[in-house]
Amino acid sequence: MTSLNGHGPIITAAGLAEALAGPRPPVLLDIRYRLGGPHGRPEYDAGHLPGAVFVDLDAELAAPPGDGGRHPLPDPAVFGAAMRRAGVSAGSSVVVYDGSQGWAAARAWWLLRWAGHRDVRVLDGGLAEWTGPLETVTPAPAEGDFTPEPGALPLLGADGAAELARSGLLLDARAGERYRGEVEPIDAVAGHIPGAVSAPTGENLDERGRFLPAARLAERFAGLGARPGGEVGVYCGSGVSAAQQAVALELAGFVPVLYAGSWSEWSRDAARPVATGAERG
């Protein structure tokens, strides 16, 4: 496959069109998904990028809900099988996309990177930015050979998240009202991890849903307390939208550290402290 590596975590629609027209186009993964909404497969069947394979976030990019939260990390064997089914090999270039804010696509991006596949990028702005043709034919790519080797990206558990919130910087990627504990539409407890800083994912994007320029993202995260070259932890409700924040952090030059269990894991344990209000707590 044509290598996309070395060009950052995102690709524009124009850049993708150029890559697809080349002699060795990237593998395309369609990760359309809505939290609590209808399954993304019907949208995929109605029209997707030519050659794209649908990947089910709940079934293939997450383990079943439980003590680890609503979207625990998948079993590497399950994830690896899904990627091979989609045609992903160790030497493949991969482009992932979804239909909205990049949350689901970023989850696939982060998992591939965490599992040792470096040549993967998110379509900036998602399907809405694509002006080329769509197709309804379900492709049958040749089986890939990708075997996950987890650990290529840093990862936090609950204890590590608590420590980073005290000693460094832990960003809460959820909407501000959920951080403050004013509402909680999904999980049983409202509030945030004590010491975490509110950093809603919507502020990473422009009005068209594309990532802000790297310099603006760097200013945003610096204003939240990030320091050049430092690791920055990030969590959300269940580890999906936080992956979009991880993309933004990497664009800005920081090392993102994901707390995959996120609030849905943290809030399941009544012994863990909960902060509310606008302050870090």
- Tracing tokens 């975490």 back to the chain, one arrives at 196
Q: What is the CA radius of gyration of the chain?
A: 18
Long-range contacts of 75-81 (CB under 8 A, 24+ apart): 76/115, 76/148, 76/150, 79/111, 79/115, 79/148, 80/115, 80/146, 80/147, 80/148
Distance CA 169, CA 279 (A): 14
Q: Where are the alpha helices (DSSP H) in the chain?
A: 13-20, 41-46, 57-60, 76-85, 103-114, 158-167, 176-179, 214-223, 241-251, 262-266
Distance CA 122, CA 207 (A): 18
Query: Could you list the active site residues?
Result: 236
Distance CA 255, CA 233 (A): 9
Answer yes or no: are the C-beta atoms of 122 and 105 closer than 8 Å.
yes
Which DSSP category does 203 fall into? Answer: G
Helix 241-251 to helix 103-114 angle (10° resolution) is: 70
Provide the β-strand partners of residue 122.
10, 96
